[in-house]
Homo-oligomer: A and B are copies of this chain.
Amino acid sequence: MADVAREAGVSIATVSRALRGRPGVGEETSRRIRAVAERLAYVVSPEASHLSRRETGRVAVVVPQLAPWFYATMVGEVVRLLRDAGLDTLLYEVDGPEERGRFVEELPARRKVDAVVLLALPLTPSQRDRLDLLGVRVVVAGGRLRDLPHVEVDDLAVAHTAVDHLVGLGHRDIAMVRTSDTDETPWEADLLRSRGWSERLRHHGLEPREELRVTVEIGPRAGVEAVQRLLALPQRPTAVFAYSDELAAGVVVGAREAGLRVPEDLSVIGVDGHPIAELLDLTTVDQHVAEQAARTVTTVLHLVGRTADGDPVDPAEQVGHAAEPLSVVLDHTLVVRSSTAPPSSAG
């Protein structure tokens, strides 16, 4: 910056103002400064700028995993929208209970960001409390945590929608295939969808049979394994509600490997709106991931006082906004395709 100032024949204070677009710099002076900066291919040092301004221009996004479709899609969207607002994204992947423990212990994001987004991150109660040490705004997406601002779908209602669809088709023996992390940390979405399954069956006067609720470890063949277990039961289900589309896909493949037809012999419904559901023509409950990402970013921008274009919000105005609810529960949509139909025995 000193170089630019010298070349332009002004002080570094003026260069700083001109480059930041602050008022109080002559039209002509400003133009000259910009021209010099351009010619020298100069860009302001973010480190120094942040040190002075006491903000980082960064937000941390923390995910348990990145490869599963939900996370990859959410993160991709969030990163893009934050960038549009002029914010950089620091990504942390904390897989498994030990790494999560280490993360909240060390808090590597501390003092490095203006806000952090926790994406469907299972935390134990004691881990949740350490979050306060972050010293920055926290937004929870894909779940809720304490009283922190959150963006989510209502997983109980998601399960109700799926069960209603199957019951409406005439199914009475409806299984639930759920997944689980290996540890004991409560995985919110899974717990709620599972609870929604049993709740809603009872609501329809059906008793949820425990042997119809199978839990499998995540993996490419998880759904296949689940359906194998279900088909070994004396009283087989005629329909399956799977925690996710990936699991539902496995259930379909497993059913076909066992010689069953879908949907004639077994109806299958998943959750997500995953491309694999479109490929295999699976009925699903779409949870509108792109919109969840958009609302998450909106909340973040609100908390750090920026607009979607990256402009700072007028502090006076900001106070008014603060009254708005920061947490939001988004809608989901039933997408009926060819993997669900009335049970053949119901005709």
Given contacts A79-B92, A83-B92, A276-B220, contact A111 B72 (CB under 8 A): no
Instruction: Tell me if A283 is interfacial: C-beta within 8 Å of chain B.
Output: no
**CB-nearest residue of chain B to A73:** B67
- Count of A residues near B, CB < 8 Å? 50
A112 touches B46 (CB 8 A): yes
Q: Which residues of chain B are near A48, meaning CB under 8 Å?
A: 51
Instruction: Tell me if A328 is interfacial: C-beta within 8 Å of chain B.
Output: no
A40-62 to B contact mask, C-beta < 8 Å, 1/0: 01011111101100001010010
| A324 CB, min distance to chain B CBs, angstroms | 28
A47 touches B111 (CB 8 A): yes
Residue among B43, B79, B133, B250 making CB contact with A279, cutoff 8 Å: B250
CA distance A91 to B88 in the complex (A): 7
CA distance A93 to B91 in the complex (A): 12
**CB-nearest residue of chain B to A250:** B279
Instruction: Tell me if A80 is interfacial: C-beta within 8 Å of chain B.
Output: yes
A66 touches B92 (CB 8 A): no
Residue among B41, B50, B88, B276 making CB contact with A47, cutoff 8 Å: B50
**CB-nearest residue of chain B to A99:** B80
B95 touches A80 (CB 8 A): yes
Instruction: Tell me if A306 is interfacial: C-beta within 8 Å of chain B.
Output: no
A207-241 to B contact mask, C-beta < 8 Å, 1/0: 00000000000011101100000000000000000
Q: Which residues of chain B are near A112, meaning CB under 8 Å?
A: 46-47, 88
Q: Which residues of chain B are near A79, meaning CB under 8 Å?
A: 66, 91-93
CA distance A133 to B39 in the complex (A): 12
Task: Kindly report how many copies of this chain are found in the complex they form together.
Answer: 2
A272-293 to B contact mask, C-beta < 8 Å, 1/0: 0001101110000000000000
| A14 CB, min distance to chain B CBs, angstroms | 21
A220 touches B73 (CB 8 A): no
Residue among B45, B111, B221, B276 making CB contact with A43, cutoff 8 Å: B111
**CB-nearest residue of chain B to A222:** B279
Given contacts A47-B51, A73-B67, A133-B41, contact A279 B91 (CB under 8 A): no
Instruction: Tell me if A65 is interfacial: C-beta within 8 Å of chain B.
Output: yes
Max count, chain B CB within 10 A of own CB: residue among A69, A89, A93, A278: A93
B280 touches A253 (CB 8 A): yes
B90 touches A221 (CB 8 A): no
| A232 CB, min distance to chain B CBs, angstroms | 20
Q: Which residues of chain B are near A46, meaning CB under 8 Å?
A: 111-112
Residue among B65, B83, B92, B111 making CB contact with A108, cutoff 8 Å: B83
Would you give 11 A-B contacts (Cβ < 8 Å), ordered by A? A41-B133, A45-B51, A47-B47, A47-B50, A58-B90, A67-B76, A71-B72, A80-B93, A88-B108, A88-B112, A221-B278
Interface of A toward B, CB cutoff 8 Å: 41, 43-48, 50-51, 56, 58, 61, 65-67, 69, 71-73, 75-76, 79-80, 83, 88-93, 95, 107-108, 110-112, 133, 219-221, 223-224, 249-250, 253, 275-276, 278-280
